Structures are given as structure tokens and as C-alpha cells.
Amino acid sequence: MASEPIERLEPGQVVLTGLGEACVVSEELAAAFQPGDRLIAASGEILHVPNAEHDIVEKAVVSALEAFDALARCSDDEISQFYAEFARRLEDPTVVSHIMAANAADVESASVRGRSTTRLQLSTAMLADMIAGLHMWQRSDVQRNVVIAEVAHEGWSVQSRRAPVGVVGFVFEGRPNVFADAAGVIRSGNTAVLRIGSDALGTARAMMTYALQPALATAGLPGGAVALIDSPTHAAGWALFSDRRLALAVARGSGPAVELLGSIARSVGVPASLHGTGGAWMIVAEDADTERLRTVVAASLDRKVCNTLNVCCVVRSAQHQLIDVLEGASIAAANRATRAIVHASPDVAAACDGIDLPANIELAGIGDLGHEWEWENDPEFALVLVASVDEAVQLCNSHSPQFVVSVLTESSDVFERVYNSVNAPFVGNGFTRWVDGQYALNEPELGLSNWQSGRLLGRGGVLSGASVHTIRLVATIDSPTLHR
């Protein structure tokens, strides 16, 4: 772990982060501290991990480590059977009734506490997507210890083999479908430890009890191959990401919480795959097709997730198409029986002054272009006019989360110019919501990564089960006299 148990803590005491940054213990922290608790210092903060939370995480990680060793002795056919069994249980009405009951209780509890339930509710569509994802893993041709290259020398040869890396730690937001995603690491021989948001913990427990654990047992896989940290506290997530035994730390979600988790992982040398801030950008060029523009905007605002339209830049020479953008937003709002809130720049507001706007469009102030509009039911995005496509790219590179960019143009030259200059891992020419591993690549994703912290080394923005591997070298020496 990142720190050893501490027996005494005093207000004003200085604690150093893993990167050498000094943090001072507050009166509040010192009062809450108990002998044997641990501290994690990251991003200028001192994080308190009670001993009980550490023990819960320790048990889960040890279970996953032991399962990793055992999984190496299981066959690929047994792994395929696990996915088939997991999917079958999610199609069993009795199992589904238990999980749905737990989810209904989670949704009710979250609603009472004023929490968002948009992503928490387990719908039949979400369940169907989970089942489809599990069948994808079942049919996947990803195998362990596959030879991916071989170099022949005189008297000997060297093979490069793809191999498992170990235990993958996940911290998920409160979404019930994450189990099917995280289970993907088993396909490539890895094991997983999950900490799910407190809002969905009851659903997670039911998913483990009635579907995942029985599927592992039936397939003959170790029970710790997917371990759930049964704790609602943030401290459990901090403790997990500070464990040096993790091969990879994956944080799903956005905002400061994800940044903090990434900082914790990096401070102890654990590689991290982070989503960061979400929100897609759209650039409307002068030659954008009017009808296509309306449809694309509407499809990009169907619900609020990370790849939802957040900022739309319209080239000033195409100012007449502002109404098409607004009508697209109006369609999205009408589909939800609500209104759309459009944060318009002053020149957009002025241009709309003489336009008969759709009744369900509400214009608001522009605000910060780097802000992610976290709407619950009313579609919300920013709309600005720019002098050129190049200015739109400049704004995107300066203010966006460097994630998803859509370019509405009929010119392949314009599209390629944007692609070559915009700093984003996902670039398209239509609706923004295509950015999803299962939807785009027919492969369930473990997480999406943007470029807020720099371009990714050696992989794309979609983290999949096939991505979680290492390369091992195996030498076959035929000549007994070989030497250097």
C-alpha cells in the first residue's frame, strides 16, 4: 500500500506526497484519525484511509492476486464458458428479478438523497447491452500467450508473446452495466478488483451474488477473478489505487475525483487509464449539409454521457445554419418532452434575435467553453460563432477535454485539415455518440481515455480486454555452443 499504519497523528504535522509535495495535517483530520489508520497524500491533499477500509481492499486485492495465478491454469474454453454462463444468468427471469429489485432500491435511495439516477437505473436495454457484450467476449479470439512476432538467428530464435499483466483495479461511477465491461479482462488472463459508486452498491452485490460468482464457479474459474470491494466510501477507492500490486488502475467517470485517483496511482507507480472530463465538440463548416446537421445535432444530444455534444462551433460564413443547430437541439428536447438550454455567445444571441426560435429552446449565457454541462434531462450545450474552421480547432485545442470532435463538412480536404490539427483521439464527421467501444468496434470497452494529460503511448483511446496485456520474450536456443 501507499503508506504503513500510523499510530499517532498531530495537527500541523507535515506529510509528503509520493512526488515530494508537502501537505499539512488539519485539526479535523487529526480528530478523525484512529491508531492504525493510513494516510495517502496526493494532489495537495491528505486522504484518510481508516484501517477497516484498508482491510476490505486488502482482502479483495489478495483474492484477485491468488485468482490470477489460478487463472493461468484454466483453459481458454473455460473462460469462454464463463461469459456464456454470465450471459445466461442475466437472461434468467429469477436472477433478473433479484437484480432489478436491488436496483430499484438503489434508485429510490439515490432519488431520496437528491442524487442523479440517469445512469443508475438498470433498464431492459442496458441489460440487453450487457448480455450482448458478454457474448462478444465469449466469441472473442483474444487468447493468452499468443506469439505475435518471431526473430530467427543462427542457432537460436526469439518469440514475442502477448501475456496477461495481473490485477486490474477499477473505480466506476454508479452504473450497473460495468460488471460486463470489467469482466473483459479475464479474456486476456487478467483479474479485476472493482469499487463501484455507493449509489449502485446494492445492485453490484446482487449482480455478484446471483450472476457473476455462480458463472465463475460453473465455468471452473477462481472466485476471486472479479472481486468487489464491498464498501460505499471514497477511501476504499483511494486505498485500491494506492496499491502497488495493481498492474493497471482504471477510473471511469470525469472531474476532480478521477483526477485525484489518477494522481494517487501515479504517485505509487501504478499505470492508470483515466477518462478525465467528458463532452464532445462539433465544428460546422461553411458547406455543412443542412438536413444532416439537424439530424446529427439531435442524435448527439439524446442523453447525457461522456460523448454527448457539449460545444458547437459554427463558422460565421455559415451563420444561417444556426437555426438548423437549434432545430436539431429542439428535436432532442422534444424526444425527452422537455426543453434544450443553449449557452449562446453574444454574437450567436444577436444573430438569433430576429429568428423565430423553436418554443422549447432556451438561450442562456455562454460561460466557460471548458465546462462540461452535466444535464439530467434538459439537453444543454454551448453554441459559438467562429471566423474559420481553423479558429474552431484552436478553441477546441485550448478549451476542450481533448476527447471527441465532429466535423460537419462535405469537403474531405477540410476534414483532413481538422484531423491533422485537432488534438483529440476520436474524430468523426457525424453524430458524436459513436465513441463507444462496443458500438464502434464490436468489442466491449473497459474505459475511454481522452488526451487531457497527453497522448496515449502505444494504444488507442478505447481500452478493451485485448489492450490489457504485456509482451514477454521467449528464447529457443538450438545451438549448445552459442555464446556472446
Which of 468, 379, 480, 484 has its CA nearest to residue 165? Answer: 468
Same domain (yes/no): 132, 201: yes
pLDDT of residue 472: 94
In a domain, 467, yes or no: no
In a domain, 460, yes or no: no
pLDDT of residue 238: 94
Q: pLDDT band for position 19 (50/70/90)?
A: low
Q: In the chain, pLDDT over 90 holds for what percent of residues?
A: 65
Q: What is the bridge-based pairing of β-strands 191-196 and 226-228?
A: parallel
Domain boundary among 208, 240, 274: 274
In a domain, 454, yes or no: no
In a domain, 185, yes or no: yes
Q: Which range has the worst mean pLDDT, 130-139, 179-188, 209-218, 379-388?
A: 179-188
Q: Which range has the worst mean pLDDT, 69-78, 299-308, 439-448?
A: 439-448
Helix (H, G, I), strand (E, B) or coil at 1: coil
At residue 3, does pLDDT exceed 80? no
The average pLDDT across 373-400 equals: 96
Return the H-helix or E-strand segment holding 272.
strand 272-274
Look up residue 442 and give its DSSP letter: S
Q: Which CATH number do you get for residue 141?
A: 3.40.605.10
Same domain (yes/no): 248, 173: yes
Domain count, the chain: 3
Domain boundary among 274, 292, 313: 274
At residue 392, does pLDDT exceed 80? yes
- pLDDT tens-digit series, residues 187-206: 999 999 999 988 899 999 99
At residue 8, does pLDDT exceed 90? no
- pLDDT tens-digit series, residues 331-376: 999 999 999 999 999 999 999 988 889 999 999 999 899 999 999 8
Same domain (yes/no): 383, 234: no
Same domain (yes/no): 267, 328: no
At residue 1, does pLDDT exceed 60? no
Same domain (yes/no): 19, 65: no
d(CA 270, CA 273): 10
At residue 127, does pLDDT exceed 60? yes
Contacts 24+ apart (CB under 8 A), 330-334: 330/358, 330/360, 330/361, 331/294, 331/297, 331/298, 332/297, 332/298, 332/299, 332/300, 332/301, 332/302, 332/379, 333/301, 333/360, 333/361, 333/378, 333/379, 334/360
At residue 324, does pLDDT exceed 70? yes
The average pLDDT across 431-452 equals: 86
Domain boundary among 255, 274, 293: 274
pLDDT of residue 56: 96
The average pLDDT across 103-125 equals: 88
Q: pLDDT band for position 467 (50/70/90)?
A: confident
Domain limits for position 42:
14-49
Q: pLDDT band for position 14 (50/70/90)?
A: confident
Q: Are 234 and 40 in contact (CB under 8 A)?
A: no
In a domain, 116, yes or no: yes
In a domain, 3, yes or no: no
Same domain (yes/no): 305, 415: yes
In a domain, 465, yes or no: no
Same domain (yes/no): 104, 249: yes
The average pLDDT across 318-325 equals: 95
Q: Which residues contact 464 (CB under 8 A, 6 or more apart)?
A: 184, 437, 441, 443, 444, 445, 446
Same domain (yes/no): 200, 342: no
- Cα-flanking dihedrals φ and ψ of residue 251, to 5°? -115, 125
Which of 456, 458, 463, 401 has its CA nearest to residue 432? Answer: 401
Q: Which range has the worst mean pLDDT, 1-10, 38-47, 297-306?
A: 1-10
In a domain, 78, yes or no: yes
Q: What is the DSSP string of 76-108?
A: HHHHHHHHHHHHHHHT-HHHHHHHHHHHHHHHH
Q: pLDDT band for position 21 (50/70/90)?
A: low
Find how far residue 30's CA is from the centre of its chain. 34
Same domain (yes/no): 31, 75: no
Mean pLDDT, the chain, rounded, equals 90
Same domain (yes/no): 194, 262: yes
Q: Which CATH number do you get for residue 330?
A: 3.40.309.10
Same domain (yes/no): 207, 76: yes
pLDDT of residue 343: 97
Same domain (yes/no): 285, 253: no
